[in-house]
């Protein structure tokens, strides 16, 4: 395994989960302490929590597309107090650093969440989810406005010394501008990307298939969008990035590293193959070794460097 670092965290390998895509507490109930001995991720990202409990969106909440999935889950959670009392003690038993994801509709609500989790020794970093398209709030509007994004990071920075990670949307005019705003506000790292807005129509009724009308598209369909966002956000800011969006293989991981990610998040593919993290980690190790790259960091931002000679594919096109 290729150990790596991210925002001051020492990780055994570069594979983590996307928020809300893996229920570690339920997995622990199912597999017991064996899960702790072979935990699949090098850090665990909690499901996004809000100040007050949320029931989530009305069903149906999921729809499989030809190249991914649309979800309209709506961030159901126990709220800050419920998380601290019930979930955090269990998540603290995981053998990896814990990143807590939070979402709110205003700077002050975000700040209260950051204050609530930021002074807990069990928490290693905080993800600010400013880009969720599945709730009727202003959270995604914060992450599409550079001034709002910077002001939010500056406000939350006052509440904790823990690394703050800004989870950004690709559905903006210029992702580099939003990333630069997050960096200027004090973000230690970025998470790219959240889902892309989408919907599905029932072929029989010709009505929306999801209870809320639409949701967030994820999976292989958004991989090119995610790579573009990671590449340009990394190039603009130089910040460490958790890259995700359609990752399902070691080759996908390699491409995200080259685009500028330091760590790779798995999401939609976990629903089809819960054993994916081990396979992807092994595949990535093999691919790095084949290329003579002894460490994950040797691949990060390779796509930003000019080629010393044309690739075989380009040479063929020229001929």
pLDDT the model gives residue 241: 98
Does the domain formed by 4-318 have CATH 3.20.20.70? yes
Q: What is the largest CA-CA distance in the chain?
A: 65
pLDDT the model gives residue 138: 45
Q: Which residues, 6+ apart, have CB-to-CB distance to 292 below 8 Å?
A: none
User: For residue 210, what are its two tokens?
Assistant: 């999801």
pLDDT the model gives residue 2: 86
Residues of the chain above pLDDT 90, percent: 90
pLDDT the model gives residue 143: 87
User: For residue 278, what are its two tokens?
Assistant: 């081990």
Does the pLDDT of residue 253 top 90, yes or no? Answer: yes
Does the pLDDT of residue 318 top 60, yes or no? Answer: no
pLDDT in tens, 17-37: 999 999 999 999 999 999 999
Q: Which residues are catalytic?
A: 132
How many Cβ atoms are within 10 Å of 251's Cβ, its own excluded?
Answer: 13
pLDDT the model gives residue 47: 97
CA distance 35 to 41: 11
pLDDT the model gives residue 317: 47
How many Cβ atoms are within 10 Å of 66's Cβ, its own excluded?
Answer: 7
pLDDT the model gives residue 309: 66
- What are the start-end ranges of the H helices in 119-174? 139-142, 146-157
User: For residue 8, what are its two tokens?
Assistant: 């001051």
Q: What is the pTM of this model?
A: 0.94
Q: Which residues, 6+ apart, have CB-to-CB distance to 242 below 8 Å?
A: 6, 16, 165, 189, 190, 191, 192, 261, 262, 263, 264, 265
Strand partners, 218: 69
pLDDT in tens, 192-203: 999 999 999 999
Torsion over CA of 147, 150, 155 and 159, rounded to 10 degrees?
A: 170
What does the pLDDT average to over 259-270?
98
Sign of CA dihedral 132, 263, 117, 163: negative
User: For residue 197, what are its two tokens?
Assistant: 């807005």
Q: How far is CA 89 from CA 77, 157, 180, 227, in A?
A: 16, 25, 35, 35
Band (314; pLDDT cuts 50, 70, 90): very low
Q: How confident is the prediction for the chain on average, in pLDDT?
A: 94
What does the pLDDT average to over 139-151?
84
CA distance 124 to 96: 10
Residue spans per domain, the chain: 4-318
Weakest mean pLDDT among 138-142, 149-153, 228-232, 249-253: 138-142
What does the pLDDT average to over 116-129?
97
CA distance 112 to 83: 14
Band (142; pLDDT cuts 50, 70, 90): confident
How many Cβ atoms are within 10 Å of 137's Cβ, its own excluded?
Answer: 16
pLDDT in tens, 157-192: 999 999 999 999 999 999 999 999 999 999 999 999
CA distance 89 to 261: 30
- In the 8-state DSSP scheme, what is residue 262? S
pLDDT the model gives residue 319: 45
Does the pLDDT of residue 214 top 80, yes or no? Answer: yes
φ, ψ of residue 76 to 5 degrees: the values are -65, 135
Whether residue 256 contacts residue 230, with contact meaning beta carbons closer than 8 Å, is answered with: yes
Query: What secondary structure does DSSP assign to 59-119, as a single string?
Result: SP-EEEETTEEEE-----B-HHHHIIIIIHHHHTTSSS-EEEEE--SSHHHHHHHHHHHHT
């Amino acid at each position: 395994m290729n150990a790596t670092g991210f925002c001051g965290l020492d990780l055994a390998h570069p594979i983590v989960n996307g928020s809300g895509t893996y229920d570690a507490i339920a997995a622990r109930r199912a597999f017991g302490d064996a899960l702790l001995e072979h935990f699949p991720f090098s850090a665990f990202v909690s499901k996004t929590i809000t100040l007050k409990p949320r029931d989530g969106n009305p069903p149906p909440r999921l729809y499989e597309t030809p190249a991914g999935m649309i979800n309209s889950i709506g961030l159901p959670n126990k709220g800050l107090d419920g998380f601290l009392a019930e979930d955090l003690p269990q998540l603290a038993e995981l053998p990896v650093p814990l990143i807590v994801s939070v979402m709110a509709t205003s700077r002050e609500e975000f700040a209260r969440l950051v204050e609530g989790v930021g002074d807990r020794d069990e928490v290693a970093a905080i993800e600010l989810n400013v880009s969720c398209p599945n709730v009727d709030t202003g959270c995604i509007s914060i992450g599409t406005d550079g001034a709002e994004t910077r002001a939010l990071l500056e406000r939350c920075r006052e509440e904790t010394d823990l690394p703050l990670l800004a989870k950004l949307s690709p559905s903006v005019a210029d992702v580099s501008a939003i990333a630069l705003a997050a960096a200027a506000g004090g973000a230690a790292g970025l998470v790219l990307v959240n889902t892309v807005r989408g919907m599905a129509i029932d072929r029989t009724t010709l009505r929306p298939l999801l209870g809320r009308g639409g949701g967030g598209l994820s999976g292989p369909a958004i991989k090119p969008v995610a790579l573009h966002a990671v590449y340009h956000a990394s190039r603009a800011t130089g910040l460490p990035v958790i890259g995700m969006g359609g990752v399902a293989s070691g080759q996908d991981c390699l491409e995200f590293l080259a685009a500028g990610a330091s760590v790779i998040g798995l999401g939609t593919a976990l629903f089809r193959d819960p054993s994916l993290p081990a396979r992807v980690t092994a595949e990535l190790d093999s691919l790095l070794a084949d290329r003579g790259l002894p460490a994950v960091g040797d691949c990060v931002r390779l796509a930003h460097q000019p080629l010393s000679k044309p690739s075989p594919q380009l040479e063929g096109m020229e001929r």
